[in-house]
Amino acid sequence: RKGGLKAKSEKMFGLMDGFLKNDSVSLQKDILDHVEFTVARSRFNFDDFEAYQALAHSVRDRLIERWHDTHQYFKKKDPKRIYFLSLEFLMGRSLTNSVINLGIQDQYADALTQLGFDFEILAEQEGDAALGNGGLARFAACQMDSLATLDYPAWGYGLRYQYGLFRQIIVDGFQHEQPDFWLNFGNPWEIERVHVSYPVKFYGTVEEEVLNGKKCKIWIPGESVEAVAYDNPIPGYGTRNAINLRLWAAKPSDQYDMESYTTGDYINAIVNRQKAETISNVLYPDDRSYQGKELRLKQQYFFVSASLQDIIRRFKDLHKNFDEFPEKIALQINDTHPSISIAEVMRVLVDEEHLDWSKAWGIACRIFSVTIHAVQPEGLEKIPVDLLGSVLPRHLEIIYEINFRLMEELKKSFDQDYDRLSRMSIIEEGAVKSIRMANLSLACCHTVNGVSRVHLETLKTRVFKDFYELWPQKFQCKTNGVTQRRWIVVSNPSLCSIISKWLGTEAWIRNVDLIAGLREYAKDPDLHTEWKNMKKVNKMRLAEYIETLTSVKVSLDAMFDVQIKRIHEYKRQLLNILGIIHRYDCIKNMDESDKRRVVPRVCIIGGKAAPGYEVAKKIIKLCHAVADKVNSDPDIGDLLKVVFIPDYNVSVAELVIPGSDLSQHLSTAGHEASGTGCMKFLMNGCLLLATADGSAVEIAEEIGEANMFLFGAKVDEVPALREKGTTLKGSLQFARVVRMVRDGYFGFKDYFKSLCDTVEDGGDFYLLGHDFASYLEAQAAADRAFVDQEKWTQMSILSTAGSGKFSSDRTIEEYAEQSWGIEPCKCPF
Ligand code: GP0
């Protein structure tokens, strides 16, 4: 029989044409085949969307080819692998990124031109894959790109939500949410693997059993749901490697309860089974508070359980002994969301593989590392004991056991310090007894990563002080980064060519440190000319987009000043708007000669508010109210325009960032764990106006404080300022602008009252009043710098040149070396 198989596969190889061909004619042929046979349209009659689908399928074929080879190779080499578990991935579009990483962009552009299509127009047909909320999820996506590019043997695991992050529509200046049914028109970038599926169990009871004379626990689950794999190939740049992002979807289980069918309740039995699918239905849209929701817990366990079954199956294909587990597997948990995986690994090793507890725990402690993205202790997840006990009864027992042993160990070091023990306990005793998922992670993980230096300090000295004192060696800084492939090569092709031309190489796309070579030319007049042209082209694109969406015409000579990110009080979009009101008020009170000295501005704000976050929604409305007033005021003209860009997402960012002159990062110091938007602006040569928070501190070190506009209270000043209470209202100017809003100058007086209250009346937790004067100074400094266009361009070049550290390639290398202990595994071409 073996010989037969061999003959068969030889025959199949004989029939294969080798690798898919990438010359323009072959690509055209492939696209047309997909028009006819995949999209099932006539070659003589198909529209742009259908052309996009056919194009995407031809790219997909090429992705699959590499993805197969990579997996074969990984299997053959069997290196230690990193499994990246994340509840969110914000991938955005795939087309352009894929053809660039595959190295066949020009061939495709050419093929399409021959067929009478334009690559860029077709690329616009693609919707965003928005399976995530914000920074955390986009960072996960950037990390996947770097893992693939640097040839690491990595897999991503997550959930395939049917509804991604809601679409934001604006009606009369108010945010409304619409479901994002992104799979409506099919998704060419995924591969459904109907045969890769695992049952995931919930509820039920735990019973004791005697096995080989040993007492053990078994979980008798009450519900089973099937997890089906959808694979998303992630191509690396400049390599044959394409890794896998495996997302799980819930399907009704095959095992069904005969009884409900025989009792005649056929319809209801089916309807109930169908409910299983709700687990992967929808992404939670609140990006940092989802405490105690049953569905959320089920989502977490669902993807964790399926992923671990998959990982263990793959391990067992080649290995028998679990002692080898830590040599072959590293598990990264992205924030505490997947931390139930710690209890699941213990359950599998102890209950199913029958390892004894301490051996199993020893293994768990060597495989897990965690990255914490939150700053505030309140942001850390807690799950009520009752809820966990009902959904996952055996896991609750396991967590209790982990905690019992943790407490025993702590007593050795801290003896009678009960306060400390209760702070470090995984179980929080309180009105609602809950499980602290962060403490569970800290007890087990060998590394706990902060996402910037400032953030790690906060973790060490505040959030996890007790744990730091016990295990200082666990705490590591891995400053975030972003991928220059998407954020320069895909989204800013003109900048990409300039960089390659002046450096004389494209090598920076894989080795971004080289970008520092631009410093040498920071004053070169020829580079300045090219740089300014690049900016102008990108601003034109952005201006057109703004006009189409909002009907506001903006002048290209104005400074494009941008703040795009989730709307949060701590991110202080309100500070920005109050600053705009101040600017408006000043211009209103100027005579004509003063007006001539004003630097014209286009203030652009974009971002979504969590559907239940009232204050954030009021901020969005205020932005529109101010825009309405300012944009229609004939005294103002082009000196000031205010624009709110609706439905901010990854592809909007790709358009906006390259077209901005200045970007704002205004978080109250100590509140932004890292910030990654700022890194994308930096790479694109946009100057930063920022507080000394998160990664901005490290950016200042790289490019020099003189090349950005820093302002506001410092991290260590904030607690004292809060203590003191800013009843002084900071400055007169601040009081005045808040009063304008209060008095109904922009309408909606009653509606904005509570918003004003948040920054006045002894409140102002985020210190807007305190930072306002310093903010205005930084804004004035930006104006002065903009007037001197040579100086500005030089600062802009130095920003790009100094952005090398903020590539996710650097971040991933640090993780690989310091946390995961993995080596590249490069598939030969
Ligand atoms: C942090 F805690 N972040 C959380 C969260 O629930 N969601 C989220 O997106 C972000 C941080 O706010 C960040 O500072 C950071 O850069 C990012 O995680 C990735 O580490 C800015 O978005």
Nearest ligand 1 atom to the CA of 138 is: 19
Note every long-range contact of 627-635, with CB atoms under 8 Å and residues 24 or more positions apart, other chains counting: 627/552, 628/173, 628/746, 629/584, 629/745, 629/746, 630/580, 630/584, 631/552, 633/584, 633/588, 635/587, 635/588
136 ligand 1 Cβ < 6 A: yes
Q: How far is CA 819 from CA 180, 370, 425, 483, 816, in A?
A: 36, 9, 25, 20, 6
Distance 585 CA to ligand 1 centre (A): 34
Which residue numbers are catalytic? 373, 565-566, 571, 676, 680
The rounded distance, in Å, linking the Cα atoms of 402 and 344 is 12
Q: What span, in angstroms and rounded, lies between the C-alpha atoms of 3 and 747?
A: 82
| Phi, psi angles (nearest 5°) of residue 124 | -70, -15
Other C-beta atoms lying within 10 Å of the C-beta of residue 220: 12
Pocket-testing residue among 87, 89, 90, 136, ligand 1, by greatest number of atoms within 8 A of Cβ: 136
Residue ranges of alpha helices (H) inside 233-356 are 258-262, 266-274, 294-318, 325-328, 340-347
| pLDDT-flagged residues of the chain (< 70) | 1-5, 8-9, 12-17, 255-261, 290-291, 726-730
pLDDT of residue 269: 79
Whether 672 lines ligand 1, by a CB cut-off of 6 Å, is: yes
Q: What is the pTM of this model?
A: 0.96
**Measured at the alpha carbon of residue 450, what is the angle toward residues 679 and 686, in degrees to the nearest 5?**
10
pLDDT at residue number 1: 43
Per-residue model confidence (pLDDT) at position 256: 62
DSSP string, 102-123: HT-HHHHHHHHHHHT--HHHHH
Residue 762: what pLDDT?
A: 76
Quote the ligand 1 centre to 777 CA distance (angstroms).
28
Residues 727, 769: Cα–Cα separation, whole Å: 9
User: 438 near 392, Cβ under 8 Å?
Assistant: no
Spatial contact of 415 and 443, defined as CB atoms under 8 Å apart: no
In sequence order, what are the beta bridge partners of 433?
Answer: none
Cα distance between residue 822 and residue 330, in whole Å: 8
Closest atom of ligand 1 relative to the 133 alpha carbon: 9
Both tokens assigned to 447: 């590394």
Cα torsion for 758, 764, 768, 772, to the nearest 10°?
110
C-alpha dist (Å) from residue 10 to 2, 3, 373 = 12, 10, 51
| pLDDT at res. 252 | 86
Query: How far away, in angstroms, is 671 Cα from ligand 1 center?
Result: 10
* CA pair distance 615, 753, nearest whole angstrom: 11
197 lines ligand 1 (CB under 6 A): no
Pairing of strands 167-171, 174-178: antiparallel
For strands 559-564 and 601-606, give the pairing.
parallel
- The per-residue DSSP string of 416-460 comes to T-HHHHHHH-SEEPSSS-EEEHHHHHHHH-SEEEESSHHHHHHII
The reported pLDDT for the residue numbered 377 is 82
What is the predicted pLDDT for the residue at 5? 63
Q: What angle do CA 570, 572, 575 make, to 5 degrees?
A: 150
Any atom of ligand 1 within 6 Å of the Cβ of 434 = no
User: Tokens 């693997």 sit at which residue?
Assistant: 193
Per residue in 109-142, pLDDT (tens digit) is: 999 999 999 999 999 999 999 999 999 999 999 9
pLDDT at 138: 98
ipTM over 0.95: no
CA of 139 to the centre of ligand 1 (A): 9
Distance 675 CA to ligand 1 centre (A): 7
Ligand 1 atom showing the smallest separation from residue 566 Cα: 22
The continuous run of DSSP H or E covering 215 comes out as strand 214-220
Atom of ligand 1 nearest to the CA of 134: 9
Q: What is the pLDDT of residues 173-218, one digit of tens each?
A: 999 999 999 999 999 999 999 999 999 999 999 999 998 888 889 9
